[in-house]
Amino acid sequence: MIAKISNITSISVESLTTFFYGLFLILIGLFYPVISLIFFAGFLILLDIITGVWASKKRGEEFDSKKLSRSLSKAIMYPFAIILAHLCERFLTEIPFVKGVTFLLIVVEGKSLDENMKDILGFSFFKYIKAFLIDGKKGLFKEMDKKKHK
């Protein structure tokens, strides 16, 4: 009797492997539409880490674990936010949650990258982009002339 119960409750390694492989495939299928956005967010976070370290070295600061832990929390929260937005969008199809969340993440990371590049190179890319969007080439050249005359 005990042998029969242990045979019923015992789970083989093969069946566990098959179960987790199937679960993995289901999750990949469910989140396939946003995988590229998750990788893009990871790429932006990696760029932010690299430019952040570079900017802190340029300022003469030490790069400590507190700053790195913020990047780690971003690496966890950004994909979670994209996945949550994707799930919301599956149920509320008229509202583009994924596009909104991705836009916000790109703006936040873009601003962070711009601040780091300002410390590294001495000028802000956003200022030039804004001048170009408002006034075209004329505004861009005007902004570049301001930089030359400083």
Is this prediction's pTM over 0.75? no
Between CA 70 and CA 82 the distance in angstroms is 18
Q: Tell me whether residue 59 is in a domain.
A: yes
Contacts of residues 69-78 at CB distance under 8 Å and 24 or more positions apart, as own/partner, are 71/45, 74/45, 74/48, 75/42, 75/45, 78/38, 78/41, 78/42, 78/45, 78/105
Q: Tell me whether residue 67 is in a domain.
A: yes
Q: Which domain holds residue 114?
A: 2-121
Q: Tell me whether residue 96 is in a domain.
A: yes
**Cα–chain-centroid distance for residue 126?**
19
pLDDT by position in tens, the chain (length 150): 444 444 555 667 777 788 888 998 988 888 888 999 999 999 999 999 898 888 888 888 887 777 788 888 999 999 999 999 999 998 888 889 999 999 999 999 999 998 988 888 887 777 777 777 777 766 666 666 666 655
Q: Tell me whether residue 143 is in a domain.
A: no
Q: Is 150 helix (H, G, I), strand (E, B) or coil?
A: coil
Q: Tell me whether residue 130 is in a domain.
A: no
Q: What is the maximum alpha-carbon separation in the chain?
A: 91
Q: Tell me whether residue 111 is in a domain.
A: yes
Q: Tell me whether residue 146 is in a domain.
A: no
Residue at token pair 């861009």 = 140
Q: Tell me whether residue 127 is in a domain.
A: no
The domain total for the chain is 1
